[in-house]
Amino acid sequence: MRTFLYFLLFMFLAVVVILLAALLGDQGAWYFAWLVGTAMIVLISAASAALLDTQEEHAAGQAAGGTRKPL
């Protein structure tokens, strides 16, 4: 039953995407680029935040006299 519901969900999404592509016409590529660019900016920001947190934890561990581990 779960697989069938996933199938219906993805079929619905495919129909929506096809309708949007038909309605947008030539502008569809611009919207696609906007979506991909926004997703990339969010992912790069999240990765940078995780790297900064790791560096701060490492620096705090060294300041507290912990063992020195390479990053």
pLDDT digits (tens, 9 = 90+) for 11-61: 999 999 888 888 888 887 888 888 899 999 999 999 999 999 999 999 998
Verdict on whether the full-model pTM lies above 0.85: no
SS3 content of the chain, % helix, strand, coil (to 5): 85, 0, 15
Q: What pLDDT sits at residue 20?
A: 84
Q: What pLDDT sits at residue 38?
A: 94
User: Are 28 and 20 within 8 A, CB to CB?
Assistant: yes
Start-to-end CA span in the chain (Å): 46
In the chain, the amino acid numbered 34 is W
pLDDT for 1 beyond 70: yes
